[in-house]
């Protein structure tokens, strides 16, 4: 069941691909091209089953439409998933095969890095298609987007702290960071530089040891980080971590982190509001990486311009926070409405130009 499934949101196109020789099984979901070609990361993950992989692709691609719209980019929303264990199943041939799958869409989808994939994997895809972004070398290469994502998250955390805690200074503020990968580790560095008191977790013990050594962070069990006694909870691992089970245990007054799809369902947004917690909508606060990638797609990469655009993220968030307070509605709903308005306006412009 796809069209009637809960996660299907009138996606324009969903493609299933397999390459038996390399063991590739992948799904590309294009949610919307109203604002431009669909651009979003390629995730490699050992999904328990195909339904989970499809669900992730559908939810993540919608998130990319909203994210690109809210970042003001000339890009639509898409995402891809490769079913496999990134620690065991990777090969250059597999990513070349995936590149051929991307190429078959003729530029309607542009692939970038995500959980489980690296710049090296994107370079392998680039051998079969030009419709990739986040390259290490070549004309307009923008490289690893994670530091830009992390910078935007750091600025977004400050905006949320100002709104909810009364000051944007993070000195002495207790912050729990869940996930210490590409994004989480850079977020920790920014926060530590400003004197925040860090509580960290990851399912990889070496990542935790590094954060403890580098930032003087306190290690927390992976399953208990949401319940840490902190001011701010920054989810930077996987999605659905804010749900009916975790929410009653969350002590933080602010949830602001980089993971995509943090709310298990849209309805959780209202429960978060009722709990008196300020939630920074994930696809707004984590837009820094796609802003950087976008600069590569438009073939005019300029780091200073990228940073200026990333610095608009806290401005957009503050606008969402104010509207949510004014209307007594969840920040997640306000952001969704703003994004959908931008997508609808893009479609009207595109149709008018036909």
Cβ atoms of residues 161 and 254 within 8 Å: yes
Chain-centre distance for alpha carbon 82: 17
Reference 145, options 298, 308, 295; nearest CA is 295
Query: Closer CB to ligand NAD, residue 40 or residue 99?
Result: 40
Smallest separation (angstroms) from ligand NAD to the CB of 20: 27
Helices and strands, number each (H, E), in the chain: 12, 11
Reference 183, options 241, 259, 254; nearest CA is 259
Smallest separation (angstroms) from ligand NAD to the CB of 215: 15
Catalytic center residues: 79
Cβ atoms of residues 351 and 194 within 8 Å: no
Smallest separation (angstroms) from ligand NAD to the CB of 106: 25
The DSSP string of 124-186 is HHTTT-S-B---SSSTT-----HHHHHHHHHHHHHHHHHHHHS----TT-EEEEE--SHHHHH
Reference 169, options 195, 143, 190, 189; nearest CA is 195
Smallest separation (angstroms) from ligand NAD to the CB of 350: 26
Reference 18, options 71, 130, 97, 85; nearest CA is 97
d(CA 9, CA 347): 16
- Residue closest to ligand NAD, measured at CB: 181
d(CA 334, CA 327): 9
Query: Closer CB to ligand NAD, residue 201 or residue 331?
Result: 201
Cβ atoms of residues 298 and 305 within 8 Å: no
Smallest separation (angstroms) from ligand NAD to the CB of 57: 12
Smallest separation (angstroms) from ligand NAD to the CB of 238: 5
Q: Which stretches of the chain bind ligand NAD, using CB under 6 A?
A: 114-115, 145-146, 149, 178-184, 201-204, 207, 222, 236-238, 258-260, 286, 289
Sheet holding 197-201, edge to edge: 218-219, 197-201, 174-178, 232-235, 254-255, 278-279
């Amino acid at each position: 069941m796809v069209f009637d499934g809960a996660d299907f949101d009138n996606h324009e196109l969903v493609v299933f691909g397999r390459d038996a020789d390399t063991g590739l099984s992948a799904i590309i979901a294009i949610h919307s091209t109203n604002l431009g070609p669909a651009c979003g990361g390629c995730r490699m993950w050992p999904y328990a089953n195909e339904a989970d992989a499809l669900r992730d692709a559908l939810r993540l691609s919608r998130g990319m439409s909203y994210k690109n719209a809210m970042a003001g980019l000339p890009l639509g929303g898409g995402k891809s998933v490769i079913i496999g264990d990134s620690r065991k199943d990777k090969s250059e041939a597999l990513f070349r095969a995936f590149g051929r799958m991307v190429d078959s869409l003729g530029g309607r989808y542009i692939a970038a890095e995500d959980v489980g994939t690296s710049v090296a994997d994107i370079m392998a895809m680039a051998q079969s298609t030009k419709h990739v972004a986040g390259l290490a070398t070549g004309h307009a290469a923008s490289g690893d987007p994670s530091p830009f994502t992390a910078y935007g998250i750091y600025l977004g955390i400050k905006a949320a702290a100002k709104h909810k805690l009364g000051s944007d200074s993070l000195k002495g503020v207790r912050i729990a960071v869940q996930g210490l990968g590409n994004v989480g580790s850079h977020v920790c560095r920014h926060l530590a530089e400003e004197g925040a008191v860090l509580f960290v977790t990851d399912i990889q013990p070496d990542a935790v040891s590094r954060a403890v050594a580098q930032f003087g962070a306190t290690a927390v069990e992976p399953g208990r980080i949401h319940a840490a006694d902190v001011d701010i909870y920054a989810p930077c691992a996987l999605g659905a971590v804010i749900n009916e089970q975790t929410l009653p245990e969350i002590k933080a007054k602010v949830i602001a982190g980089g993971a995509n799809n943090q709310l298990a369902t849209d309805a959780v947004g209202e429960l978060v509001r009722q709990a008196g917690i300020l939630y920074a909508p994930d696809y707004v606060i984590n837009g820094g990486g796609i802003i950087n990638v976008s600069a590569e797609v438009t073939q005019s990469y300029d780091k200073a311009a990228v940073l200026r655009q990333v610095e608009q993220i806290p401005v957009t968030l503050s606008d969402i926070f104010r509207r949510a307070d004014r209307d007594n509605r969840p920040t997640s709903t306000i952001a969704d409405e703003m994004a959908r308005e931008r997508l609808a306006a893009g479609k009207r412009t595109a149709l008018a130009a036909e």
